[in-house]
Amino acid sequence: MFIEYTFSMDDGTAFHYPVDFIRNHDAILENSQYPTWTQLEFHQCPNCPVKKTEYAHCPVAIDAHEIVLEFAEVLSCKEADIHVRTPEREYFKRTDAQTGLRSLIGFVMATSSCPILNPLRGLAYYHLPFASLNETIFRATTSYLLQQYYINQKGGEIDLELNGLKKHFKELQTLNFHFLERIRAACDADANLNVLATLFTISSVLSLSLEKHLKKIEHLFD
């Protein structure tokens, strides 16, 4: 399954990114082929379960490095026409580069080989570009509860208090913070930095005040 992002900047520059949902990389890659900041031990997340003997490079960094480098000098406030094509439909939005890049990077991260991000693959498979915070909360929560249904079907213990979901987003908060340090080493302009900072904020909200945000949409189910 491919998802395609196309950024058409006002100065005539265009960025085109076809991203395959399933991507396979060799575990051990040649260092000279990739920037130093993609190596596993470069600002490696403290909660990362991956060992250097398994992967020489951070799976997320390898998948995202071309996008990061191309956008390294694009300011987040620059407007762009952004088209997104999925197998089912197409999306278009005239917005700042940061919004489109956040959506693209979020999809790339969620479909990487990173074991911390693996629980997001279901959401990524039904990707929603330009999702708002409320849409993200709704989709993440319903996806988690669907997972509990499958666990229950197999006789496992289910979590209706969403404790596992909040714990997972704490893990994501740590991951986003340390991945931001990788990006700082790769670019000078602010688009990539703002994107990761925003993802860090979203994971913080979901881990610390999930109930508060769910309360706001309770009326939809009365």
- 91-122 pLDDT, tens digit per residue, is 999 998 888 888 898 899 999 989 999 999 99
Confidence of residue 125 (pLDDT cuts 50, 70, 90): very high
Mean pLDDT, residues 17-28: 81
- pLDDT above 70 as % of the chain: 85
- Please give the radius of gyration of the chain, using alpha carbons only, rounded to the nearest integer: 18
pLDDT at 44: 92
pLDDT at 107: 92
Query: How open is the CA angle 1-152-222, to the nearest 5 degrees?
Result: 85
- 140-189 pLDDT, tens digit per residue, is 999 999 999 999 999 999 999 999 998 998 898 888 888 887 877 766 55
Helix axis angle for 163-186 and 133-153, nearest 10°, is 130
Average pLDDT value over all residues in the chain: 85
**60: Cα separation from own chain's centroid:** 9
pLDDT at 184: 76
Flag whether pLDDT at 210 surpasses 90: no
CB 141 within 8 A of CB 214: yes
- 76-95 pLDDT, tens digit per residue, is 678 899 999 999 999 999 99
Structure-block tokens of residue 78: 């620059």
Structure-block tokens of residue 92: 């278009």
Q: Which of 63-67, 104-108, 125-129 is predicted least confidently?
A: 63-67
pLDDT at 68: 78
Q: What is the pTM of this model?
A: 0.86
The enclosing H or E element of 5 equals strand 2-9
pLDDT at 205: 65
Smallest CA-to-CA distance from 200 within 219, 216, 221, 180 is with 180
pLDDT at 142: 94
